Structure 1
Amino acid sequence: MGEVFQALLTQSRHIENVQQIEIDARKSYALEGFKRIIRCRGEV
């Protein structure tokens, strides 16, 4: 029983990590978009 619980715990941690990676990726993608907008406005 303990092994099953441990496996579930590890799996849920892995899912959390994947979600965190997705969030970080979206943040950096949004940041790049903002930088591009600022650059375009700066050039005009």
Structure 2
Amino acid sequence: MNTQKHGSVDLKRLGISIVVTILFFIIVVVCSYFAGLVLCR
């Protein structure tokens, strides 16, 4: 029971890490895109 709970906590933490990584990647891409637009002008 305890091990199962710990496993689910690790899984949730892993999911949060993946979501944060994806959000960070999207922010970097959007910032690069806007920077490119500004530089092109």
User: Normalized against structure 1, the TM-score is what?
Assistant: 0.83
The yes-or-no answer on 1:9 pairing with 2:37 is: no
- Greater gyration radius: 1
Unaligned stretches of 5+ in structure 2?
Answer: none
The yes-or-no answer on 1:35 pairing with 2:20 is: no
> How far apart, in 1, do the equivalents of 2:9 and 2:35 lie?
39
Identity fraction in percent: 8
Unaligned stretches of 5+ in structure 1?
Answer: 1-7
User: Normalized against structure 2, the TM-score is what?
Assistant: 0.89
Total equivalences in the alignment: 37
> Runs in 1 of length 4+ with deviation above 6 angstroms?
none
Report the residue type matching 1:24 in the other structure.
Answer: S
